[in-house]
Amino acid sequence: MIIEKVETFVLKDKLSKSFFFSQWEYSERSICVVKITASDGTYGWGEGYGPAKILEEGVNFLKPIVIGSDPLKNELVWHQMYRKTLDYARRGILVSSMSAIDIAIWDLKGKILGVAVSALLGGAHRDKVKPYATGLYFRNYEEPSVEFGEEIERYVKQGFKAIKMKVGLGVDEDYENVKKVRSMIGDEIELMIDSNHAYSLKEAVSLARKLEPLNISWFEEPLSPEFYDQYRELREKTTIPIAAGECEYLRYGFHQLLRSKSVDILQPDICSSGGLTEAKRISTLASVYGIDVIPHTWGTSIGMHVALHFISNLELIPGRMKQPDFLMEYDQTENALREKLTFPKVIMKDGFIKVPKGPGLGLDVNEDVLREYDISKMKDKSII
């Protein structure tokens, strides 16, 4: 059996209301989804994290390698894609294109063999994961520190036991916001903060020290992803665990983060850092350093399924009889592609999501929804 077809779909969802983080405004969600079909008609789905149209071009660039290859030999395909891109893109969007293809091949391979991706990865150590809510973005530029009450109430009602909020407006404003959120959610719910690399080292140290009494589970991307040594310095100066990795690529990039002792928690985005093939290697590398892996997950429900299978396979180091819950990022911002694109629906119950058991990623795409959000069928083909 060989791979016969690689198709791309650039999807766009215009938001009913914009939201902001420390860097810019989001007024739409867009993503490149990939479908790979084998000669017997079996197909698999993948997606890449990053600018969708550029990502699509990357997939087109890699297509000649993929077509004609054996879908059961995904590592061979991965290596050929890596060789083809190494000279031009050791980091960045071409790796995201590779990731989308790699994920679709894992789904396809699982469907051909009739086994779940978690089994292909080596087996599920756990059958459910604990999602944390990613939300509490800024509502506008002029007055970003709005009341968070309604949103927090919704998360608590849904059963979330952990919430991640955005920071990055300035040390004093962040401090006031985090203090407010902590007092609203109480001490039982875990709280994480994410600045999306908004700060200098001096600012990040100052904010971290002010926030230490508020029991923050991690401070995500406090600094520029370029400053590996500053991350280490920050880690030495605060008791709050430091997390990063969503701007990092391939095992070589993650090795740099690990070797320089930059983080307590590694956050590869499986849909951009090299796909499931490379994420498995990155988690092995992290285990050598005794560092936890909690992937960055911010796409459609395809990406969520990828994370569920991957997290189910993560090894607890050194391991014990009674295992802790493993966290998964669950974006709560408006995104029809996360809610409607695939079936069966992802269900959170009693604060947990079950790892799908069906073949491959355990999902299929609703092709009516795919067509509805496909920009090639829209009048306005622009994308932000």
Residues 125, 197, 255, 296: which is the catalytic one? 296
Question: Is the CB of residue 114 less than 8 Å from the CB of residue 359?
Answer: yes
Question: Is the CB of residue 32 less than 8 Å from the CB of residue 48?
Answer: yes
Least separation in angstroms between CB 247 and Mg ion = 9
Question: Which residues contact Mg ion by CB under 5 A?
Answer: 194, 220
Question: Is the CB of residue 159 less than 8 Å from the CB of residue 348?
Answer: yes
Pick 47 or 194: Cβ nearer Mg ion: 194
Distance separating alpha carbons of residues 191 and 181, to the nearest angstrom:
9
Distance separating alpha carbons of residues 92 and 274, to the nearest angstrom:
10
Pick 121 or 286: Cβ nearer Mg ion: 286
Least separation in angstroms between CB 76 and Mg ion = 33
Least separation in angstroms between CB 221 and Mg ion = 5
The residue at minimum Cβ distance from Mg ion is 194
Distance separating alpha carbons of residues 17 and 12, to the nearest angstrom:
15
Q: Is the peptide bond before 268 cis (omega within 30 degrees of 0)?
A: no
Pick 13 or 194: Cβ nearer Mg ion: 194
Q: Which two tokens stand for residue 174?
A: 């962040």
Q: Distance of CA 156 to CAs 105, 139, 152, 163, Å? A: 37, 20, 6, 9
Strands (E), 68-224: 128-134, 162-166, 190-194, 216-220
Q: Distance of CA 248 to CAs 19, 280, 304, Å? A: 24, 15, 19
Least separation in angstroms between CB 254 and Mg ion = 16
CB-side exposure of 145: number of CA atoms within 13 Å?
Answer: 15
Q: Which two tokens stand for residue 297?
A: 């997950």
Is 255 a residue of the active site?
no
Pick 13 or 220: Cβ nearer Mg ion: 220
Distance separating alpha carbons of residues 119 and 155, to the nearest angstrom:
31
- In sequence order, which residues have a C-beta less than 8 Å from that of residue 372 and are 6 or more positions away? none
Instruction: Characterize the bridge pairing of strands 128-134 and 162-166.
Output: parallel
Instruction: Characterize the bridge pairing of strands 342-343 and 348-349.
Output: unpaired
**Residue 145 DSSP code:** -
Least separation in angstroms between CB 262 and Mg ion = 15
Q: Which two tokens stand for residue 384?
A: 């932000």
Q: Which two tokens stand for residue 220?
A: 């995500």
Residue 322 has phi, psi (to 5 degrees) of: -100, 110
Q: Is the peptide bond before 64 cis (omega within 30 degrees of 0)?
A: no
Distance separating alpha carbons of residues 116 and 313, to the nearest angstrom:
11
- Annotated catalytic residues are 296
